[in-house]
Amino acid sequence: MFRPVAMQRTELSLLKEHAAEAALLLADLACFDPEISEVSAADLPELPGESYRQIFAECRSRFDKILLHYGLTDGGGSIPSMQPVSLAELAELDEWLRKQWDTCSEDQEQMRKLRDDHRRTAQMLKALGQFMDLNIDLTLLQKNSRVLDIRVGTLPRANTQRFTEAIGMAGYVAIEFFTGPEQVHLIIAGTTGRSAEIERVLQAAGWRMTDIPSEFRGRPAEVRQELTQRIARLEQQQTELRRSTDAAQSQLRDHLLDAGNRLARAAPFAELAVLMRGRGNLVMVSGWIPKGRAAQLHAMLEQRFGDRFVLRARDPLPEERMRVPSLISHHRWLRPFASLVLNYGVPRYDEIDPTVLFALSYVLMFGMMFGDVGQGATIALAGALLRRRLGQYAALAVAAGISSAFFGLLYGSVFGFEQLLPALWMPPLSDPLRMLGVALGWGIGFIVLATALTIRNRIVAGRMQDALLDSHGAAGLALYLGLVFAGYRYATAGAPGIGTLLLVCTSLAMIFAHSWRRSSGTATWERILIALMEGFETVMGYVSNTLSFLRLAAFSLNHVALTIAIFTIGSMMHATGYWVSVVLGNIFILVLEGGIVAIQTLRLEYYEGFSRFFSGDGRAFRPLTLGGKREWAS
């Protein structure tokens, strides 16, 4: 519960001809996390599965693209056969997939051309609209003759009159054929010999040339009819191509299912090929397996291969602990909390798994800050009703809601009403100082537990000096307890006491000495500065971390204050307005303050808890599994 599952380092040696089948067995067992072998490359220089891996990668790539082309998705399912796929079978499958992909790529290219042509034709049809008032052959506007200079373009409406007068002086005429909100579309014509004179006028007036597509041959009505028919033909061709693709999908569906099954059976050996080494007929693969599954793996291999294999399993060595994968297994109710833990990082193999502690503390802190029977019940009910949409996080919502309702009973609050239920403890505003004291006590206990876990993790990791003398070790814990006792004695008796001061000074001296030793090799003044700064940072860090937990009381008081504000607003209205204010106010509190409290609780967990004892740089356990999917859904 509090530690990742115990692991063993495993080495499997067997004949090369059995490697693919062994990989399939390992994947079916789903408890073997492969890793680079410890055997040197000189002893086992060969990579027996490299060609297999390359062909598999090509097959997988083509297969995925074919599925995408036919609109098929992976629907899961079981593998009907557990026979390994040989290199020859894989090569044959690769050739078949290559041919199918060639066909698919041709269809895709044809469809792309049809869509491009359809889009271009639709754009031309849209552009033709501005010429519909002309009753001339548009071919005449596309090129100039030897004696006539014809131009089509647009002009700002404000410049039209002066432009017409100016080109008239040059012997040109202007015909307006389409008017837009800001631009006027014109045809200007004149003799070719005077075209140079008109250029300056065009430039000054803001003339923009309009290119007439070469497809515009004939009168506008004729061109529109031709383009409309062309669009219809292109749409028909696209429909026929889609029908052809659907027919091919139906024809190939079973073949693709078989190909998917074969790729699923080939995937384990292809994945192991990167890590598998060999010499001659011998191959070896290494990895990690849960300690309780080694005997099961040995029995499976023995049943299939008899005595033609060697399986060695041992506990991790101290120097291997950073490489050992962490397998975290929890009840489904704890999975949302485990997910939030993994968002921070993966626990190391030798670290405490904080999931259970995180779940308990998160739920309790949320309830303390957001205590209300009605609102808590609403959160729990919403989590239960929306469990399909929320997925694994529905359990978190239910747990947080129950905690909120529990603290609501302690506070005597139901949707903000404090007259409906007697408080089992007290309303927060009745004694704010006591609430602050409870929050402070919780924070002290939280930090003490987190520091104790840090000490334990460092002892297990073999970092004894850090566990005893570091600012987050035993010396730091003693310093913190000394500061807490000193503060308590000062508040109650007016003086911290000699014993408490001695504890604080001794702890600081140990931290100072440890920092001094770690900074050896630097200048003396630098070592002194580093040690002093670390001591100061330690004291301030513990104080600020403790004060951070005052937000538990602050948000519980804020929750009541918001409720009072809502009832105050409601009291200024009539009966209907009062209840509308109460309902909307509770919704506001649930959504806004509930979200803020959830985030603040997570912040306390991450920065005041995890950052102390949880490195989060572990390696997740990722076992070899059967690759790919075996059923397709369109």
Tokens at 582, concatenated: 């109460």
Specify whether the CB–CB gap between 336 and 398 falls below 8 A. no
* Angle of the 432-460 helix axis to the 524-548 helix axis, nearest 10: 130
Give dist(CA 251, CA 567) in Å, integer.
69
Give the pLDDT confidence of 371-384 residue by residue, as tens digits: 999 999 999 999 99
Give dist(CA 52, CA 88) in Å, integer.
9
Residue 78 has what pLDDT? 58
* Nearest to 624, CA basis, from 261, 90, 267: 267
* Angle of the 393-411 helix axis to the 373-385 helix axis, nearest 10: 160
| 302-309: Cβ within 8 A, 24+ apart | 304/21, 304/22, 304/25, 305/14, 305/18, 305/22, 308/14, 308/15, 308/18, 309/12, 309/13, 309/14, 309/15, 309/18, 309/22
Residue 177 has what pLDDT? 86
Give dist(CA 596, CA 589) in Å, integer.
10
Total residue count of the chain as it appears in this document: 634
Confidence of residue 245 (pLDDT cuts 50, 70, 90): very high
Give dist(CA 445, CA 124) in Å, integer.
76
Higher pLDDT, 587 or 515: 587
Confidence of residue 517 (pLDDT cuts 50, 70, 90): confident
Confidence of residue 634 (pLDDT cuts 50, 70, 90): very low
Give dist(CA 436, CA 354) in Å, integer.
26
Contacts for 454 with CB less than 8 Å, ≥ 6 apart: 467, 472, 473, 612, 613
**pLDDT exceeds cutoff 80 at 1:** no
Give the pLDDT confidence of 310-363 residue by residue, as tens digits: 999 999 988 888 889 988 877 888 888 888 888 888 888 888 888 899 999 999
What DSSP state is assigned to residue 617? B
What DSSP state is assigned to residue 495? S
Give the pLDDT confidence of 46-101 residue by residue, as tens digits: 888 899 999 999 999 999 999 999 988 765 555 666 788 999 999 999 999 999 99
Residue 35: strand pairing partners: 286
Residue 633 has what pLDDT? 39
* Nearest to 170, CA basis, from 187, 184, 190, 140: 190
Specify whether the CB–CB gap between 483 and 504 falls below 8 A. yes
Give dist(CA 612, CA 597) in Å, integer.
22
* Nearest to 287, CA basis, from 563, 574, 11, 6: 11
| CATH topology (fold) of 143-211 | Alpha-Beta Plaits (3.30.70)
Q: How far is CA 535 from the centre of its chain?
A: 39
DSSP labels, 397-432? HHHHHHHHHHHHHHHT-BTTBSSSS--SS--GGG-H
pTM for the whole structure? 0.73
Give dist(CA 492, CA 480) in Å, integer.
18
Residue 76 has what pLDDT? 53
**pLDDT exceeds cutoff 90 at 407:** yes
**pLDDT exceeds cutoff 60 at 25:** yes
Mean pLDDT of the chain: 88
Contacts for 278 with CB less than 8 Å, ≥ 6 apart: 16, 19, 44, 46, 47, 48, 284
| Mean local confidence (pLDDT), 470-486 | 90
Give the pLDDT confidence of 104-160 residue by residue, as tens digits: 999 999 999 999 999 999 998 988 888 888 888 888 787 767 778 888 889 898 888
Residue 553 has what pLDDT? 94
H/E element, 183: strand 183-191
* Nearest to 396, CA basis, from 372, 373, 367: 367
Residue 101 has what pLDDT? 95
**The 3-state secondary structure of 91-155, one letter per residue:** HHHHHHHHHHHHHHHHHHHHHHHHHHHHHHHHHHHHHHHHHCCCCCCHHHHCCCCCCEEEEEEEE
Q: How far is CA 419 from the centre of its chain?
A: 46
H/E element, 69: helix 50-70
Residue 385 has what pLDDT? 93
Give dist(CA 415, CA 404) in Å, integer.
11
Give dist(CA 534, CA 469) in Å, integer.
12
- Distance in Å from the first CA to the final CA of the chain: 42
Residue 364 has what pLDDT? 96
Which range of 94-103, 157-166, 279-288, 455-464 scores highest in mean pLDDT? It is 94-103
**pLDDT exceeds cutoff 90 at 211:** no
Residue 417: strand pairing partners: 414
How distant, in Å, are the alpha carbons of 133, 183, 204, 571 from that of 178? 7, 9, 21, 66
Q: Which CATH number is 1-41+273-315 given?
A: 3.30.70.240
Q: How far is CA 284 from the centre of its chain?
A: 36
Q: Give residue 52's identity as a one-letter amino acid code.
A: Y
374: left (phi over 0), alpha (psi -120 to 50) or beta: alpha
Domains of the chain, residue spans: 1-41+273-315, 143-211, 332-613
Specify whether the CB–CB gap between 507 and 478 falls below 8 A. yes
Asked if 1-41+273-315 and 143-211 have one fold, the answer is: yes
Give the count of beta carbons closer than 10 Å to the beta carbon of residue 172: 23
Q: Give residue 579's identity as a one-letter amino acid code.
A: W
Give dist(CA 564, CA 251) in Å, integer.
69
Give the pLDDT confidence of 570-615 residue by residue, as tens digits: 888 888 888 999 999 999 999 999 999 999 999 999 888 887 777 7
Rounded to the nearest 10 degrees, how much is the dihedral formed by the CA atoms of 20, 23, 28, 30? -170
